[in-house]
Structures are given as structure tokens and as C-alpha cells.
Structure 1
Amino acid sequence: MTRNHAPKSLAVLLRARMHPDPGYRSLDRGGRREILRSLAADYDVPRARVRDLMRQYLSAAAAAGGEEEEEHPEAAGEEGGGGGGSASAMYRMERGIREALQPKYAGFLEAMNAQPGGLKLLAVIRADLLALLGEENVPALRALDVYLKEKLVTWLSPAALALHQITWDDPASLLEKIVAYEAVHPIRNLIDLKRRLGVGRRCFGYFHPAIPGEPLIFIEVALLKDTATSIQEVLWDDPPTPESEARCALFYSISSTQPGLSGINLGKFLLKRVIEMLRRDMPSVQIFTTLSPIPGFMQWLLAKLASQIKLAEAESQDGNLSGASSTFRESILLPEEERMIRDAIEQADGKNGIELLQDILKSSQWVKSDKLSAALKSPLLRLCARYLAREKKRGKALDAVANFHLQNGAMIERINWMADQSEKGVQQSGGIMPKNT
């Protein structure tokens, strides 16, 4: 977008904060991205003005007489001879530089946040911005995201949020949002929802007054006699544990309702507040633990298997004359594990163990075979432990859920086999769920 279109783009955003339909949210994907690019580029820091102010500042500092006075301009006022005026001028120039270094969209974002519905719209804008950055990782867009994230952290500080226990007696509109936004274990029907809000269960949400009737994030807790080894125990145990007998608070789902608030640490603050509340209100509860999904495990494993198969094919084709590909070859399966997989299938078709494992995992039907499940248990648990503990990205656990818990001080205590036998659980994590304490 050219600069001539920039004021029009800003006008669209200004309308969006006052009217729900004709503004930003009514635009298609291309229109929204056009506005974001314009906001980032045309309302960035006015660098020409900053350079001009810095030149003036350096000239004034040189005229003031040396390094000592540049570092301590207040000393000029103590020596008399009109030095106080020089020091005041320096301070004014420094203040002017600080103000000029603020991007021009700063005031606009502040004003939008102050308007009814503005905070919600800013969360929508950041969600779109994060999606755009996934395709166009350019400095101006990154700077806009960093600035907007910093402001959201301030506006959504724990002091500004209200913790509320969500119950069956809450308005239907709120309960509908819980069903819609539940991202970990889908709520199947009203009976399922009522159970998750009933005896032996708790659901807490963080609310902000600028977004009424809708939690920014919510967490679900099961009160149990002991820690569970599968999510089926948590969701469908009947009858539930009497609350007077509960010794364990198991956190089994945490869902954000605003993708644009990614990286704001709301989950960390919510978890801490809920633990504090349960310790105060239920002194019998001594164990606080999680039964967590591993959404990235199977994707990582299948990619690892595919890369190893390609490396083996490359070695076979060139005779491994250079030996370069062998540097990246791994022993994904132990000899005993490969033997068990071969014994569990009827036809190997001349394939090696990694190829057989890839074929099995591409179909989730293996969980219905006791023979295949038994053969896969050892390698999948071992590889999952590696994925959770050793696979890193920029020093953090590769898996986002594992990283969340580990960054909050939790430790992986146990990895549970066939802990989530839902279709989603099998596809994402091979049915495995770690227990974190």
C-alpha cells in the first residue's frame, strides 16, 4: 500500500472500534493485511525527524564544551555563566528525541484501547499480525508486533484481570463460549459440560472488564483421590470423587479464547492464582499435577522417520561415496524394537523397521490391534521421552505445551501409555500423555 492510502486505512480501523460491522473485522484476509502493512510502514518511527534531532543534540553538546559536560549537563548549571540554560536546552532536546522515537501508531493504539470494544479488536489485529509474520517476517511488521505485545502485557496485567469460577449457573452465553473455545478435550454435549462444571470439578477463567462475558483464558481442574493415568478416567469417571476425599488437583485442560494474546503469559498467571485459591479453600488437596497433551509429538516423529528414509535412499543411490548423508543418520529403533514390530505385522514387503513404523503410524487403526500396540509401546514411549526432554528450539522445549509447564517450574514425572485414546489424541501424540508435577 502506498502512503496516499494510509489515512484511509487508519480510518477503517477507527470505524472498526465504534461499529461492529463496517470496520476492520468486515474486511477479507487481503484487506486486513493491507492495513497491517500500512500501519507498520507508514506509521512507524519518523526516522528523518529523529536524525535531525540527534544532529541538533550532538551540535549542542559539542558547543556546550566537551565530554564531561555531555555526560553531566547538570554540572553546567553549578558553574554559573548561563550554564543552567544550556543544561535545560539539553534536557528538552533529550525529551524531544525520546518522544520522536515512539512510533506514530503508538497514540493510535492507546486511543483504540480506551474505546469500547477496542481491546478485543486489538487482540484480533495481533492475531492477524502473527499470521502475516508467519509469511512476511519483515522488520517493520516485527516492530509493530513487539510494540503491540508490550502494550497488551501492560493492559492485561494480573491486577487488571478478574478470576471467576465458571459454574452451571452462569449465563448460557458464557457456557456456549466455554464449549466453543475448549481446545484440548472437546465438550461433546450438555451432559459433558455439566459434568465438567459439577461435583469434583472446577473451571476458572480470567476476565477483563473491557471484554465482558467472555474469558480471555480458562482452565479445567479435576479433584481426585489420586493422580489419574488417562484422560478417560478424568472425563468419564462415575460417580466423581467426593470433594471431601480429594487429595489431588489435576489440571487437564487450559484454553485461550484470543489467539492474539499469544505470549502474554496469561496461562502462567491463571495457573498460579488457581493453585493459590485451591490451597486456601481445600487444605485436603496436597498434590497439584497435570495430565497434558503432546500436540506436536507425532508430527515430529513422522517427519523424523521420513527424513531418515530419504537419507537411506540417497545412500543407496550414490553408494555413499561421500559419506555425507551418514552423518545425519540415526538409529531411531533399537534392534529389539524393530524385531517386535516385524513380528507384529503379517507382511514386511522387504521394508526396514523405520519404513514399517512409518506405515503403521500413518493410520490410527493400530491402536485397535493389541499386537501392534504392544509392539509400539516401547519405541513410542522412548521416543516421546526424547521429544519432551531433549528436542529444543532456541533453548526451549520443542513442544509448546511441554514448554509451558517446564517454564512454569513443573517436572515430567511420568509418561502414561494410552492415556488419551481419542482420535485426536492418537493422531497428535500416539495416545501418550505426560504427568507433570
Structure 2
Amino acid sequence: MVAECRHGNTHVSFFSDLISTVFERRYRRALSDQADGRSLRELAMDLLGTRGEVSGSALAHMILDRYAAMSTDDKIAFFDFLTHDLGIVAEDVQMTLHAYQNVPSKDSYRAFAAASEPRRQELARRLNQVPGGTAQLVAMRRDLLRMLADHPAFAPVDVDFKHLFSSWFNRGFLVLRPINWSSPAEILEKIIAYEAVHAIDSWDDLRRRLQPADRRCFGFFHPAMADEPLIFVEVALTRGIPNSVQDLLADARTEIEPEDADTAVFYSISNCQAGLAGISFGNSLIKQVVSDLSRDLPQLKNFVTLSPIPGLNKWREATGPETTATDQDQAIAAFYLLEAKRADGLPVDPVARFHLGNGAMIHAVHAHADLSENGMKQSNGTMVNYLYDLSQIAKNHEQFVSDGSVIASTEVRTLAATVHREK
């Protein structure tokens, strides 16, 4: 009987959705005919004022489609509208706060909360309700981020986007999926396009990273963007901790059985969506992958990165030690990672901030580790291992966030001290 009821409810839901979809499409066509002469601003205000689900969905589709077809100047005008017409009204916030302070109640709090939230946030929520809306809003923020340097007044709009995306893309909604040579071609093409650390030159190059038994790749996906990786990490299973990315990616390397590996090397982590800049995925991704690999391959003892040092040469040219000797590259890199700090006391290097903030420690520095054009440009080919010691991650993280302490091995500290004496 229960199964029968569920079966019946499924049919009712299916036909309800089908009828709703058909009606919505007809409504969208009719609405489009009526809206030809209306501006995007007028459509947005209509969407904020509508209560009907079908009419709201049709308007949202129309706004997103029209935005996607806009010129850059028209997009600037749209963000100007979001900034100045759909922000908070300071007087209303003050008035409702005063009322809540005088008479704290559910109604006075509701009024204050409503006044404190910019209407553009509600507009984004309504746009997000339609299929494909999430991806289009991420693309919209990508446009916004490109404009901020020339239009700093748009910054509050970005604050609202980031606030919403932090909720919509929190860890509870993300799905970890393995990416391998059998994954859909659409996903594989995006891995090639989004790889941001070590360029993938060909399909054969991609095959070498995904097909062998001692290679892994994992990505976070969101249900609303099921075919779009948000971030992915490439992993090599090795014997010992590697000191060269050339060796990891070599065409003629000797493959090993996963059960013979003692080390998992995270050698490339790539964020894929420019519109999600500032939304943290990497911390959760690494911890989840470490957990899954530890479960599947319990003999693994070391979890390390082989990471670039993207800011080294710029720092060296501006403020580094007065030496160009290549035999000093390793020591200078160690000094840079330990001693080069921003005004807030955190490391200058963005990759260092990321891994140290996750609880890793600086394990070793390697010269001649990345001889690619980009590797030489960034750091004269020098790379670094960050070690994720599962027993120390929490302690290292707390020390880093509390006082900026950079945890490093004795070897790295010795290298850095050598440079310090020569300065």
C-alpha cells in the first residue's frame, strides 16, 4: 500500500512538473513578446515584485538571457543599477534598528532584518531559482570582478555575491567525484582547459595523468553545476617524497602498483570558476582526498604537495638578497617562504598562505624542480613540499592563524638561516 501511494505520488509530481514546464514556456514566449521594449532594470523590478512562481521563473530566464547577450557597456550599466538602486537605505536601517532596540520582538526584528538586506540579494535568489541560474550568476560575478578595478563603487555588489555564494557553495552541497580516463569527454576537456599549474599539452598528456593506476584526480562539483568542476586536485602515488615535477610527469616513467606506494603527492590544485574567487574549496578538498586515500590505501605514510613558489622571483627582484647565483636558489626560496611577510604578518606567497593555513608544514625545498617556462619565470625552477602530517594539522593550523607562525622542518630552517647570515 505504501509503495502504491509513493508510486502514485511520483506520477502526480511528474505530471505536475510537466504541466508547469509547458505552461512556463508558453508564458515566457508571451512575456517576451510584451517585454521587447522594456529595460533590464524594469524586468528586474518586476521580478522583485512578482509572487507567482511561473511568472517569476519566466522573468528570471528572460533577465539572465538578456544579460548574457549584453555588451560590456550595458553590463556596466546593469551593475550600476544594482549598486545604486537595489542597495540598503541607511535611514530605513537606522529607523528599524531603533524600533527593535525600543521594543525587541519578532516583528521589529523582521523589519530590521529586511531593511538591512540589499534588495539585490533577493534579486539574485530569484534568478537562482531557474535551471542554469546558478552557473549564469557565477558568470555574472566573473564579469563583475573584471570591472572592479575601474569601477570600485561596485564593490558592495561583490560583497553580496560572495555572501550568497558562500552559502550556496558550502561544503554540505559539494560532491567529491573521482576524475579518470573513463570520465565524460566534456569533463576531461574542462580539466585540460582549467589546469592552472602545469599545463596539459595534449590528450596523451592528460592520459598520462589520469589513466595509470598510480595516478588519481578528484574534483568538487555542485548539483546545480553538475558538469562544471569547481576545483580539482591531481595526485601521484609514489615511493618516497618527490623533488621534481619533471619526474612525476615524465612520459617514460616507471608505473608502480598503488599498494606499493608510501606517499600521495598533490602536485596540482586548480580552481576552475573565476566567478567563485574567494570562496574556499581547497581546504575541504585536500582533507577529503586525504581521508579517502587513507581509507583505500592504508599503507600510505606521507601526504605532501609538490608546489610552485609563484611570488619568489618578483620578491627577489624587489627586496631579496643581493645575489643572482643559481646555487643559492634553494636557500633563498627557504628564506622567502619563512621570512617574507605581508603587512598583516602572513607570508607573501599565496600558495604558502593556503597550505600553511590548512595546517601543513614546509618540509623541503628543491632547486631545478620545474624547468618549464612558467616554473623558471616564477621561481627559477624551485619548488617546495608542504607536508600534511595528520597528527599535527590541527596544531599547525592554530599556530598559523593565531600568530602567523610558519612551521617548517629543520632542513628548511637551516637553509633560510644561511641566507640570513649573508644578507
2:268 alignment partner, SS class: strand
CA contact 1:414–1:434 (8 Å) conserved in 2 = yes
Matched, 1:193 2:206: yes
Tell me by how many angstroms 1:155 deviates: 0.8
Tell me by how many angstroms 1:91 deviates: 4.4
- The alignment-based identity, stated in percent, is 36
RMSD after superposition: 2.6
Equivalents in 2 of 1:167, 1:12: separation in Å?
Answer: 46
2:152 alignment partner, SS class: coil
1:215 alignment partner, SS class: coil
CA contact 1:174–1:213 (8 Å) conserved in 2 = yes
- Alignment correspondent of 1:428: 378
Equivalents in 1 of 2:316, 2:59: separation in Å?
Answer: 44
AA paired with 2:41? Answer: P
- Alignment correspondent of 2:133: 118
Tell me by how many angstroms 1:264 deviates: 1.4
Matched, 1:7 2:41: yes
Q: Does the C-alpha gap of structure 1 residues 161 and 55 become closer, same or farther in structure 2, counting only changes over 3 Å?
A: closer
Q: Does the C-alpha gap of structure 1 residues 390 and 34 become closer, same or farther in structure 2, counting only changes over 3 Å?
A: farther
2:146 alignment partner, SS class: helix
Tell me by how many angstroms 1:20 deviates: 10
Where in structure 2 are the equivalents of 1:30-41 lying within 5 Å?
A: 30-41=73-84
Q: Deviations over 1:278-316 (max 9, x none)?
A: 0000011110000001122222222337xxxxxxxxxxx
Where in structure 2 are the equivalents of 1:329-408 lying within 5 Å?
A: 332-333=321-322, 357=324, 375-378=325-328, 380-393=329-342, 394-408=344-358
Where in structure 2 are the equivalents of 1:201-220 lying within 5 Å?
A: 201-220=215-234
- Alignment correspondent of 1:76: none
- Alignment correspondent of 1:286: 301
1:435 alignment partner, SS class: strand
Equivalents in 1 of 2:118, 2:229: separation in Å?
Answer: 31
2:384 alignment partner, SS class: strand
CA contact 1:10–1:35 (8 Å) conserved in 2 = no
Q: Deviations over 1:354-393 (max 9, x none)?
A: xxx4xxxxxxxxxxxxxxxxx3221x33332232222223
Where in structure 2 are the equivalents of 1:230-309 lying within 5 Å?
A: 230-236=244-250, 238-304=253-319
CA contact 1:197–1:203 (8 Å) conserved in 2 = yes
CA contact 1:44–1:105 (8 Å) conserved in 2 = yes
CA contact 1:161–1:208 (8 Å) conserved in 2 = yes
1:93 alignment partner, SS class: helix
Q: Does the C-alpha gap of structure 1 residues 57 and 195 become closer, same or farther in structure 2, counting only changes over 3 Å?
A: closer
Q: Deviations over 1:28-76 (max 9, x none)?
A: 3333232222212210012233344456567xx3xxxxxxxx6xx6xxx
**TM-score of the pair, normalised by structure 2:** 0.74
**TM-score of the pair, normalised by structure 1:** 0.71
Q: 2:368 aligns with which of 418, 421, 424?
A: 418
Q: Does the C-alpha gap of structure 1 residues 16 and 201 become closer, same or farther in structure 2, counting only changes over 3 Å?
A: farther
Where in structure 2 are the equivalents of 1:47-66 lying within 5 Å?
A: 47-54=90-97, 61=102
CA contact 1:9–1:38 (8 Å) conserved in 2 = no
- Alignment correspondent of 2:123: 108
Tell me by how many angstroms 1:229 deviates: 0.4
Tell me by how many angstroms 1:5 deviates: 7.2
Q: Does the C-alpha gap of structure 1 residues 399 and 134 become closer, same or farther in structure 2, counting only changes over 3 Å?
A: farther
Q: Does the C-alpha gap of structure 1 residues 41 and 415 become closer, same or farther in structure 2, counting only changes over 3 Å?
A: same
Q: Deviations over 1:78-129 (max 9, x none)?
A: xxxxxxxxxxxx5423321221111111211111222211111221222222
Q: Does the C-alpha gap of structure 1 residues 145 and 157 become closer, same or farther in structure 2, counting only changes over 3 Å?
A: same
Which is worse superposed, 253-262 or 237-246? Answer: 237-246
Q: Does the C-alpha gap of structure 1 residues 246 and 152 become closer, same or farther in structure 2, counting only changes over 3 Å?
A: same
CA contact 1:9–1:35 (8 Å) conserved in 2 = no
Which is worse superposed, 250-259 or 386-395? Answer: 386-395
